[in-house]
Amino acid sequence: MVELTWLGHASWSLQIGEHRIVIDPFLSENPSAKQSPGEIDADFVLLTHGHFDHVADAAEIANRSNALLVANYEIATWFAEKHDVKNTLGMNLGGWAELPFGRVKMTLAHHSSQLPDGSYGGNPGGFLIECERRLYFAGDTALFSDMQFIAPEKIDCAVLPIGDLFTMGPSDSVQAAKWLAPKCVVPAHYNTWPPIEQDAQVWADSIRQAGFEALVPEVGEAVSI
Ligand code: NI
Ligand code: MN
């Protein structure tokens, strides 16, 4: 069993056995967050791309927890050089990384990836995580038809953005679910600010009508996958 907790926006924590993984930590300046970076301990920090609303608290959490920061090569190098993060693993699209809790593939995302100081942030991505479950975090992305090839085997849980404006919106995420065919779908990247407000229950109904389970955790709520 994997425990998935929404930290608000596109920030997630995962408990996989004894391992704590944090994805895209954005807390201190996130109006929807209920925890501060000082309250989050992690063994691994995974970053999908370089935008502020995904990396803002990564250095603080990684440095305090002595976590391994996993990101594309450009972002991993930037954190090592600009924020003195000691343990980094740079990877790139299509590659797998073997980690103590399972293996992680960096998947395609159609988006952009500039770092907060304007540095080049490489290509944006998502993560396919294989452990005792198979989880897919799409990251910030538009809908793209190659999603149907993301995982040859059944995805237990797909975390998809639904906020629209900066990423795909609710209706495109229903099409994404059809292509991914996961057991359950969890929404992300919405209700942080007014421009990305969405009614997650309406969205969940449309996911269920398409034949998939929808899980809509509150900020701070853990769901079991
Ligand atoms: Ni972004
Ligand atoms: Mn974003």
> pLDDT band for position 58 (50/70/90)?
very high
The Å distance, Cα 9 to ligand 1 centre, comes to 11
The Å distance, Cα 169 to ligand 1 centre, comes to 14
Tokens 């807390």 found at:
27
**Looking at residue 171, what is its pLDDT?**
98
Both tokens of residue 126? 């998502």
> pLDDT band for position 87 (50/70/90)?
very high
Which domain range does residue 61 map to? 2-224
> pLDDT band for position 214 (50/70/90)?
very high
H-type helices in 109-223, by residue range?
Answer: 170-180, 200-209
97 conformational bin, left if phi > 0, alpha if psi -120 to 50, beta if neither: beta
Contact call for residues 73 and 120 (beta carbons, < 8 A):
no
| Sheet order of strands, 213-214 included | 96-99, 102-108, 125-130, 134-137, 157-161, 184-188, 213-214
State what percent of residues in the chain have pLDDT above 70. Answer: 100
Write the CA distances from 104 to 120, 152, 156, 157, integer angstroms: 23, 15, 15, 14
Which ligand has its closest atom nearest to the C-alpha of 26?
Answer: 2
The Å distance, Cα 139 to ligand 2 centre, comes to 8
The Å distance, Cα 126 to ligand 1 centre, comes to 11
Cα dihedral 78, 80, 84, 89, rounded to 10, equals: 130
pTM of the predicted model, to two decimals?
0.98
17 conformational bin, left if phi > 0, alpha if psi -120 to 50, beta if neither: left
State what percent of residues in the chain have pLDDT above 90. Answer: 99
Residue 158, CB half-sphere, CA atoms under 13 Å: how many?
29
The Å distance, Cα 158 to ligand 2 centre, comes to 17
The Å distance, Cα 90 to ligand 2 centre, comes to 20
SS3 22: strand
The Å distance, Cα 168 to ligand 1 centre, comes to 11
CATH of the domain at 50: 3.60.15.10
The Å distance, Cα 39 to ligand 1 centre, comes to 24
Cα dihedral 88, 48, 222, 3, rounded to 10, equals: -60
Total structural domains in the chain?
Answer: 1
pLDDT, tens only, 26-45: 999 999 999 999 999 999 99
pLDDT, tens only, 156-193: 999 999 999 999 999 999 999 999 999 999 999 999 99
The Å distance, Cα 140 to ligand 2 centre, comes to 6
The Å distance, Cα 223 to ligand 1 centre, comes to 25
The Å distance, Cα 80 to ligand 2 centre, comes to 22
Rg over alpha carbons for the chain, rounded to the nearest Å, is 16
